[in-house]
Amino acid sequence: MNREDVKTFEKLNGQLVGVYEEMTLLSKKSPNDAVNKFKLKFINKLISESNEYLSEAYKPFDDFDSFDEDDVPHNSDVVFILSQYLQCFEKLRSDNIVPSYGNWYWRVKGDEDEDTLDDDGMVLIRTVKPKKFKE
């Protein structure tokens, strides 16, 4: 991973969390209601960008690329799929962070001119601890 990968991760993950929380609220009220086409367009765009970013190694389902706009999904379907994407994003993050002095850091490839390189030429970028970490 590099700095740009971390920026992309944080953008997509933040968007996924926001949409997931919004859809969860809708799903609690009306789980079997159809998602409107306006929201579905943005959900599919986010899923498509996530698929590209996660690649085959972390993508939650090999045979799922987006929701069919002609067969509109229910709120609960969207919540189910988004939760899987969030789990895969967390797995990717967990695989690429390290603890150091009580904090957690992305360990990414650095540029030669950076003064924060470790012995392996990597840079540490602070992040939060893994969600499933048990102290």
Q: How far apart are CA 111 and CA 114, in angstroms?
A: 6
Q: Which helix (H) or strand (E) holds 4?
A: helix 3-29
Which two structure tokens, joined as six digits, stand for 18?
């926001």
C-alpha 134: how far from chain center:
21
pLDDT tens-digit readout, 108-122: 887 655 555 566 778
- Residue type for position 101: Y
pTM, full prediction = 0.89
Q: What percent of the chain has pLDDT over 90?
A: 70
Sole residue written with tokens 């609690």: 28
pLDDT tens-digit readout, 50-99: 999 999 999 999 999 999 999 999 999 999 999 999 999 999 999 999 99
Residue 32 main-chain phi, psi, to 5 deg? -95, 5
Q: How far apart are CA 81 and CA 85, in angstroms?
A: 7
Q: How far apart are CA 60 and CA 88, in angstroms?
A: 6
